[in-house]
Amino acid sequence: MTNWNYTTVPQPGALNQSLEVARGFVLGGSSSINTLNWYRASNAFWDNLARITGDDGWSWNSVEEYYFKCSRLVTPQDGRSITTEANASAHGDGPVKVTVNGFVFDIDTTFEEAARNSSQFPYNLDYNSGNTLGIGWAQSSTGGGQRNSAATAYLEPALNRTNLDVLINTRVTKLLSSSMNNGTPVIDVVQLASDANGPRINVTATKEVILSAGAIGTPQILLLSGIGPKADLDALNIDVVVDSPAVGLNLTDQPATGVVYNVTSVQTFTDVQRNSTLADQFMQQWTENRTGLYVNYPGSIVGNFKLPSPFEDHSSGPGSANIGFVTVDGFFGAPQIPDTGEFISLLVPVLSPTSRGSVKLASTDPFESPLIDFGVYTTDYDINAQVEAMKIIDEVLSLPQFDGIVLGPYGDLADAKTDEQKALYAKQTVGVYDHASCSASMGPGGVVDSTLKVKGVQGLRIVDASVFPKIPESNTQAPVYVVAERAADLIKADYNSHSV
């Protein structure tokens, strides 16, 4: 099992469905199971983060060096030149290899051609150049035809270090304070267990504890440790170490729905979806030489757009999108692929949602999943933005370059003519984009200060997507690497000044 197999509490905005929440239960965390998309958000996102936190160290000019330390652009597996598909100057020389797809379908190049000839949906050479808006080639954390994760890029090269121990089949059950410093709890003990009924083992930190359990796991561990809203802790008879009302609140993810279109007999991987023998052949090809269909994320193209007037712009600012799409060059729908026909699909997220949710404890058992509530579509803005996004997809696919290729929407989407019908379709088919964020955030009233230290205690720092006060209008993988690289410098600076 590589997934925590979380689900949300029933989501009223999604017709009371409980939605799947993918979280990596494996070394490398969610970077080991995600869909690989790599983009670091717009310059405006980082500048807005600096404004919210009051710390210019989070501005783009300040974190740019950390982004360039994370990743480097490499040639895709088919060896083609990508000078017209990515901008080398927007990439650094870090350990995470990034590239565009190494197995391209004709429909992918049609998207590029359409964008290059559109003023409404312009071509973006590289959305990692600071402005994410437009249509461009998807970049993913792949190199050499295989996934690059936090485990492969950062952990594996360090495994032989004498100061590193990696525990597997082990989880943190609680953080403990062994002393007080001028009335402030010092968090320096990590309690571990291998199973719910097994022994608890305590490990004591000599400098500080770094909590990186993600936007679901981090608030759960804080709450189990008595750091959180007093009323919630009291209700479960958990001793209150710090009354920190924001722990577990402000949880944010981007709602997304999948849309499927009938296309003419252009090549897609629907034949692979229908034919297990062919799928096995592609798998054998990948196993032997890391080429073929399986070197890729399923889609090659992304789009990022502002919503039109009169929608308010709830993004971070210029270059940040409200809505987007990611292509899938096959059938991405339910319940299964039809026996005949060719399809392309698009996953359509609301990138700047206004709905907020929470992570709360179901019980004091650290092996019981927490109560996860994203508040999907609980604001009018979010559902209206989702409907508008679906309409914008229709406009994109109505560009002249798609004439004779895209035949029209498939299935229930074809019957969703009005805004109300599109909204119902979205509520029926919505999922979360698996970019859970913001549940232990920086900023006024937040859980951590701008150096990622947990307020109200000493010796505890958080480094993961939970610290964002606002969700990036992008995938979250690259922004978290940036946070981690800056955190490393903040930690080293504290140690070198003996101020931890």
pLDDT, one tens digit per residue, over 404-419 is 999 999 999 999 999 9
Identify whether the C-beta of residue 484 lies closer than 8 Å to the C-beta of residue 463: yes
**Based on the domain organization, do 398 and 286 belong to the same domain?**
yes
What is the number of structural domains in the chain?
Answer: 2
Write the CATH number for 416: 3.30.560.10
Length in residues, the chain:
500
pLDDT(500) > 60? no
Closest CA to 12 of 338, 255, 280: 255
SS3 289: helix
In a domain, 456, yes or no: yes
Within 8 A by CB and 6+ apart from 488, the residues are none
pTM score, two decimals? 0.96
Please tell me the predicted confidence (pLDDT) of residue 418: 98
Q: Which of 106, 102, 104, 117 is nearest to 264 (CA)?
A: 106
Is residue 25 one of the residues assigned to a domain?
no
Say if 133 falls within a structural domain: yes
Same domain membership, residue 137 and residue 179: no
Q: Is the pLDDT confidence value at 260 over 80?
A: yes
Residue 316 lies in a domain: yes
Same domain, 95 and 112: yes
Does 26 carry a binding-site annotation? yes
Tokens 């196993």 map to which residue? 287
Whether 43 is in a domain gets the answer: yes
Summarised one tens digit per residue, pLDDT across range 25-38 is: 999 999 999 999 99
Same domain, 198 and 325: no
> What gap in Å lies between CA 494 and CA 208, rounded to an integer?
10
Annotated binding residue at 172?
Answer: yes
- Residues 127-156: tens digit of each pLDDT: 999 999 999 999 999 999 999 999 999 999
Rounded CA gap, 300 and 96, in Å? Answer: 19
The answer to the question of residue 364 being in a domain is: no
Q: Are residues 68 and 127 in the same domain?
A: yes
In a domain, 5, yes or no: no
Task: DSSP for 153-212, please give it.
Answer: IIIGGGTT-TT-----S-EEEEEEEEEEETTEEEEEEEEEESSTTSPPEEEE-SS-EEE-
Using DSSP's 3-state secondary structure scheme, residue 21 falls into strand
Tell how strand 255-263 and strand 342-349 pair up: antiparallel
Q: Is residue 346 part of a domain?
A: yes
Shared domain for 409 and 299, answered yes or no, is yes
pLDDT tens, residue by residue, 99-121: 999 999 999 999 999 999 999 99
Q: Residue 454, SS3?
A: strand
Do 128 and 172 share a structural domain?
no
Domain that holds residue 213: 161-248+441-475
CATH number assigned to the domain comprising residue 189: 3.50.50.60
Task: Mark whether 466 and 317 lie in a shared domain.
Answer: no
Tens digits of residue pLDDT in 357-389? 999 999 999 999 999 999 999 999 999 999 999
Q: Same structural domain for residues 461 and 423?
A: no
Give the pLDDT confidence of 49-68 residue by residue, as tens digits: 999 999 999 999 999 999 99
Confidence band, pLDDT 50/70/90 cuts, at residue 334: confident
- pLDDT surpasses 70 at 498: no
Residue 24 phi, psi (nearest 5): -75, 115
**How high is the pLDDT of residue 266?**
84
